[in-house]
Structure 1
Amino acid sequence: MRELKQIAGLAPDQLRNIEDHLDRRYIQPGKLPGALTLVARRGEIAYLKAQGLMDVERNKPVGRDTIFRIYSMTKPITSIAMMQLYEQGRFLLDDPVHKYIPAWKNQRVYKSGVYPHFLTTPVTSAMTIRDLFTHMSGLTYGFMNRTNVDAAYRELGLDGSRNLTLDVLVHQLAELPLEFSPGTAWNYSVSTDVLGYLVQLLADQPLDEYLREHIFEPLHMPDTGFHVRDDQLDRFAACYQYQPGDRFELQDDPATSPFRRNGRLLSGGGGLVSTIDDYFHFAQALCQGGMFQGRRIIGRKTLEFMRSNHLPDNQDLPSLAVGAFSETPYAGTGFGLGFSVKTDVAKSQTNGSLGEYGWGGLASTNFFIDPVEELVMIFLTQLIPSSSYPIRQELRAIVNGALV
């Protein structure tokens, strides 16, 4: 059988396995409403395919311009914004957070009790800004449903379910104990929301304005932001919740979504919506050392620093994590300043390269960048939680199989 012409060193016949796999395994059986997948190498898009529906109730197909909730794929963007300020000498990574948030000076660690009656002990070390980048801060998320501390987050609505600002979030976090002393363990958390607050503080500019001016406009990302405008509504996908029996039901209708409200919490940890092309511009800038189409958003050495493993003694996530947070076990994977970083390919049990980095979102979205192969993959869908199916590992196997 004649092999088709390669695109940027990728075999098209192997890339088509993405479409076949997603359609046969997930979309036709009704496990996923739809999906949009992009694979690029050396700056050239080799595969881009929309499948299924972006809105089942209205029978609207996924399109290239569909707007998705990217949730925690917001984190790398906020991390880049903060490191832009690092390049300006505005802070150092080992600065204690209380240097910028004085109310956090005398932090304490949970010992026992339930909110508001906690028994606590003093921290053994002050939280640093690097602890926020690496999720070793001792903060948590309310949706973890694991401890009495995250129960307090839920009771106080610190997930953004009520009218919450970054100022109020930081003020209320000051009154709650940490899960552990900073730097001693890894726990997925609101840490990146606190980084968003620090961006506002250090730049003296609201987070949404800062991101638009310093990242979205330079990279031509017109559809990325914290709320969906009226002129975008027709392209805004519905979001779905996994149900037992490999089914899903509507979780967030586009017309009534909280993402339609202006004035929502500017969540640097999970508040953005975006499109495949917008996010590709961001990911490709990272793949090219911080520059896309002649516009630089971060320095090459700064980016190399960010995608190094910053966990102590080069440990991986399972060695330090105190709670599960997605379907990916992350063995052989460390954490940098805003991304996961592959440190041991064999141990990860997933095809790839040393130094591959990226992250995913609550609604099963995911991206990764392989700097060795100059490869970018972005997968967008809208199914909560991300632990529903092992799509991320499966896509890595298919995409890496296309390298020739």
Structure 2
Amino acid sequence: MKSFSLVLLVVVGLTVGCGNKSTNQGSNGAQSFQLDAQHIETTLQQFVESGALVGVSALLYIDGEERFMGAYGQADRENNQAMSRDTIIQIYSMTKPVTGVALMTLYEQGKFKLDDPLANYLPEYSDLKVFAGLNETGEPIYEAAQRAPTIYDVLRHTAGFVSSHGGDHPLLAISRKINPDNLNNTISQFSEKLATVPLLFQPGTRWLYGPSVDVQAALVEKLSSMKFHDYVEQKLFLPLKMNNTQWRVSKRQMEKLSAMYTRKQDGSFERINDASAYENYIKDWPLKKGGSGLTSTLDDYMRFARMLVNGGELDGARILKAETLRLMTTDALPAAVTDRSWLPSKGEVGFGIDFAVRIAEPASKEEASGEVGEYFWDGAANTLFWVDPTNKLTAVLFTQFLPYGGVPLHKAFRDAVYLHDESASALNKPALETAQQN
């Protein structure tokens, strides 16, 4: 296998050196977004040809028109199955925006207000205790919550739930023992068990990624009087014609489901045992989580993204009002919330309702390119999507390997898409050291 450093140099070289290539112009003439489809293709192909990825696919729409689609490498290397636009992918946390949209349809129906205490609807979250340190014998000390977590806290990851994303912590041992993630739990049982774990921090004081969106799923179920997954299917998947998006993969669909790989320290890929990789999907488990668990295809998830960029509507199916969507995609983190865990690693972003939201141009060359006002999220197996309202652009990028990161795919893809956008491109920004000095 070629060295990974060489792969990175080649990809960066392609990105910097392709500025004079011909570009695709949209129907709006000189003011339209300039997309270099050939450069995007070359960038993605290089990852596969160099061995930095097993397979990758991408789909781009601009102003309602498909402007790029490419699939490279293999979805199943061992069985020589090519990556394609029909490949079914485990999207992990790209489930979260779907859940957020489902919950906000109930907000539009007047079922709740953002500042309502969570316990108004899920009483298990009454009288919560908050971790306050350890005593001299190493036992946890707890204090009362200074205020009740609100639904808004749950929507923007400021409720205080403990999470492995915050590092190892004594509360995680309590959570593991209670095991809300057991697939035999229902989503309401998940919520009831999670509520017995004390909060890690006072509500509203920190941003920490964790189980908040699974609690959103429990809210959907409680407020709609329907099973969470049934509500999502009826209110989102059916009207949007997302026919290949689901928590359980049928036997008919299994032949299209991508293999899952783990990236080893030397950069090579090893297939994860199918029984482990597919465990959540081959059986109709009671637990359908809001924060992960969906599988989808490029075209299906693109229909979701296109609904978003169209202000909540696609092909006559209205899912959300435009003003609700604006609420979801506006930075909702108070300035006082300065502890934001790893969120700043996503660039110049804040956080809305289940989306990271870009609030400023890329600050340095090392950051991924992106347009101010865009919103996005990604998944543990290195999938990515974003919506760029300024350019009416939607992008979906699929690959299947764990753990997250280690390959500069997201940055390279974004840099290639925004190659000719002076404000959005990170390539014309100063290097990080220079940016910090300024």
CA 1:105–1:360: 2 relative to 1, 3 Å:
same
> TM-score scaled by structure 1?
0.91
Return the alpha-carbon distance in structure 1 between the equivalents of residues 73 and 79 of structure 2.
12
Shift of 1:350: 3.5
Return the alpha-carbon distance in structure 2 between the equivalents of residues 221 and 162 of structure 1.
25
Which residue is 1:194 aligned to? 215
**Pairing 1:343–2:354 present:** no
1:6 paired residue among 19, 25, 40:
25
SS at match of 2:239: coil
Could you tell me whether the CA contact under 8 Å between 2:43 and 2:413 is conserved in 1? no
Q: What RMSD over aligned residues (CA atoms) do the two structures have, in Å?
A: 2.3
SS at match of 2:240: coil
**Pairing 1:320–2:320 present:** no
CA 1:142–1:329: 2 relative to 1, 3 Å:
closer
Could you tell me whether the CA contact under 8 Å between 1:15 and 1:402 is conserved in 2? no
Q: How does 1:148-187 map to 2 (within 5 A)?
A: 148-158=170-180, 160=181, 162-187=183-208
Q: How much identity, in percent, do the aligned residues show?
A: 33
Return the alpha-carbon distance in structure 2 between the equivalents of residues 223 and 281 of structure 1.
11
Shift of 1:256: 4.9
Which residue is 2:431 aligned to? none
Could you tell me whether the CA contact under 8 Å between 1:226 and 1:271 is conserved in 2? yes
Shift of 1:391: 1.9
1:368 paired residue among 381, 386, 394:
386
Could you tell me whether the CA contact under 8 Å between 1:113 and 1:148 is conserved in 2? no
Give ranges in structure 2 of 5+ residues lacking alignment: 1-19, 423-438
Shift of 1:146: 2.6
Q: Deviations over 1:368-397 (max 9, x none)?
A: 111111111110111112222232222211
2:123 paired residue among 102, 115, 137:
102
Task: Read off the aligned partner of 2:371 and give its amino acid letter.
Answer: S
SS at match of 1:228: coil
Which residue is 1:28 aligned to? 49
Return the alpha-carbon distance in structure 1 between the equivalents of residues 389 and 281 of structure 2.
33
Which residue is 1:89 aligned to? 110
SS at match of 2:386: strand
* Number of residue pairs aligned between Structure 1 and Structure 2: 394
> TM-score scaled by structure 2?
0.84
Which residue is 2:411 aligned to? 393
Q: Deviations over 1:260-304 (max 9, x none)?
A: 110242111011111110100000000010011111100001101
Return the alpha-carbon distance in structure 1 between the equivalents of residues 202 and 189 of structure 2.
23
CA 1:331–1:10: 2 relative to 1, 3 Å:
closer
Task: Read off the aligned partner of 2:400 and give its amino acid letter.
Answer: Q
Return the alpha-carbon distance in structure 1 between the equivalents of residues 39 and 21 of structure 2.
17
SS at match of 2:188: helix
Task: Read off the aligned partner of 1:261 and give its amino acid letter.
Answer: K
Which residue is 1:269 aligned to? 291
SS at match of 1:152: helix
Shift of 1:164: 2.5
Task: Read off the aligned partner of 2:240 and give its amino acid letter.
Answer: L
CA 1:157–1:388: 2 relative to 1, 3 Å:
farther
SS at match of 1:259: coil
2:161 paired residue among 119, 139, 157:
139
**Pairing 1:123–2:145 present:** yes
Which residue is 2:300 aligned to? 278
**Pairing 1:215–2:215 present:** no
Return the alpha-carbon distance in structure 2 between the equivalents of residues 314 and 15 of structure 1.
42
Which residue is 1:225 aligned to? 246
SS at match of 1:227: coil
**Pairing 1:290–2:308 present:** no
Shift of 1:231: 1.1
Shift of 1:15: 2.2
Shift of 1:10: 4.9
1:334 paired residue among 346, 350, 353:
350
Task: Read off the aligned partner of 1:347 and give its amino acid letter.
Answer: A
Return the alpha-carbon distance in structure 2 between the equivalents of residues 162 and 293 of structure 1.
36
Could you tell me whether the CA contact under 8 Å between 1:167 and 1:197 is conserved in 2? yes
Shift of 1:144: 5.3
Return the alpha-carbon distance in structure 2 between the equivalents of residues 190 and 256 of structure 1.
21
Which residue is 1:358 aligned to? 376
CA 1:396–1:113: 2 relative to 1, 3 Å:
same
Shift of 1:353: 2.0
